[in-house]
Each structure stands twice: as structure tokens, then as C-alpha cells.
Amino acid sequence: MYRFLLTRQWVILTLLVLVLIPTMVELGFWQLHRHQHRVAQNALITKNLEAEPVPVTRLTSPGHTVPRSDYWRAVTATGTFDTTHEVVVRRRTSRDESIGVLVLTPLNLKGGGTVLVNRGWIPAAADQMSFPKVPAPPGGETTVTGRLKADETTGASGIKDLEGLPDRQVMLINSSQQSQLLGRPVLGGYLELTGPQPADGSPETIAAPDDSSIGSHMAYAVQWWLFAAGVPVGWVILVRREKHDLEQAAKDAETAEQPEPATA
């Protein structure tokens, strides 16, 4: 009675089940790995944000690639802002999701060297070809604190660094790019300003990364694995139902073929 499993319909269904099971198991592990990555990232964010600030030159130097272990590390820098070479980073959002620009100002360090400082978000100019009105940073020698970030790249961000942009406008925060424009070495990565607190009208500082949410990846992983377990159960149920229906059809046919008893 299980010969029906060799029919084309059941062969295709069985092959589909054999493909679905490992696929769903793999999707479950993919979600599990995303969950583990998020947990590890949250732990790193918490650790680095709570760490005692250190001078930025202790963690980076010209041409240095900031490793993930140093992302969001609290750092300090003392120097003078170079507003002459200030640029804005296009198509960035504020805390309320408004589209504008980020203000990127070089800080010439006391003792030598330059680090890029992301001072925060401001609205873009009405004409995107024009440079917006940017609030001035503190004058003279200033000590700032911030979060160390890695250079943005086209591959990592998905943002294309477009050519032919208006003067002093860029798409990415990249120390190598700015080093070429400035004509002097720039420390790898950049500093995301957290202090001193901006005055009224100053750029809106970037919010600290969220280290509390872990998302729903674990729930999705369990869901995929339950689906994987349910597929063979469903296949067995369908097989047994088909077998029962065929047996019942055979009985009905046998009953119909039996001659009716003769009457006197």
C-alpha cells in the first residue's frame, strides 16, 4: 500500500521535504549566530563606553585601522579645531530621523597630528549644492571627549562615495580621504563627539549605541527549528492519510464488485 510513494507527485513532495529540513535548520543556526553576535556586540559597547577615557593617540595613529575591539572606546583629544578644512557628510539622519548632514571638523592636536571629529548633525542647506551654515566650534585650545569609530568605507557602509560633489561635501567619514585633502597625516578612524556638551544651536551630538536590545534573533532561530521538526511530522501525516484513503477506496471497490444475494 506504500507503492504510491513512487508516484511522481509523492517523489517530488518527498524531495521537497528533504530540501526544506536542512534549509530550515541552517536558517535557525544563522539566526542563532546573529543573536550571539548581537550579545557580544552589546557587551563590547557596554565595556568600551564605561571604560575610563584615554588619549586618542594611545589607540590610533595615521593609517591605523581601528579594530572592532576599540569601537566606541571613550577617548580624549586636546587641540585646536581647523574650521577652514571643515566638511559636511551628506544624507545623514538625526535622532528623529530627519535628513541632514554631519559636521566633520579636523582637530589639530597639541603636540602634533590631526584627528577628525564628528561634531554632530545639522539640517542640510535648502540648496544641496550649497554649504550649510555650520555653528562654530569652541575657539582656541580645547579638550574634547568622544567615542572612537572606524573609518567608513564603501564596502562596509554600502554608501557610494560619489564624485563631483560640491566643495567641502563628502559621503563618507574616512581619514585617508581627508588626509589627502588636508595634505597632512590624519589619525585612523575618527572621534564621535560627546563632550563638552554643545551650546544651543550647536550640532546635535550622535546618540550612544544601544547596548540593551538583543532583537528577536533567538526567537526566530527556535521558530525555524520548530518548522524543521514539523515538516517530517507533516509528511508522515500526509502519507498515513493517503494510505488510509487508498485502503478505503480498495474496500469500497471490493464491496461494489460483490454480487448481490439472490432473492427467492
Instruction: For 136-169, write each residue's pLDDT tens digit.
Output: 998 899 999 999 999 998 865 556 665 678 889 9
Q: Which runs of consecutive H residues, i.e. helices, occur in the chain?
A: 8-50, 154-157, 175-182, 217-257
Average predicted confidence (pLDDT) for the chain: 90
SS (H, E, C) 114-168: EEEEEEEEEECCCCCCCCCCCCCCCCCCEEEEEEEECCCCHHHHCCCCCCCCCCC
User: pTM of the prediction?
Assistant: 0.74
Domain ranges of the chain: 46-195
pLDDT at 213: 78
* b/e per residue 146-168 (b: at least 16 CB within 10 A): bbbbbbbbeeeeebeeeeeeeee
Residues whose CB is less than 8 angstroms from the CB of residue 138 and which lie 6 or more positions away in sequence, other chains included: 81, 196
Instruction: For 222-262, write each residue's pLDDT tens digit.
Output: 999 999 999 999 999 999 998 888 888 878 777 877 666 65
What is the C-alpha to C-alpha distance for residues 124 and 66, in angstroms, rounded to an integer? 29
* Cα torsion angle, 195, 199, 203, 207, sign: positive
Instruction: For 175-222, write each residue's pLDDT tens digit.
Output: 999 999 999 999 999 999 998 877 676 899 999 887 777 889 999 999
Per DSSP, 4 falls in state G
pLDDT at 126: 87
Instruction: For 76-130, write each residue's pLDDT tens digit.
Output: 999 999 999 999 999 999 988 899 999 999 999 998 999 999 999 999 998 888 9
61 — pLDDT class (breaks 50, 70, 90):
very high
Q: Calculate what percentage of the chain has a pLDDT beyond 90.
A: 66
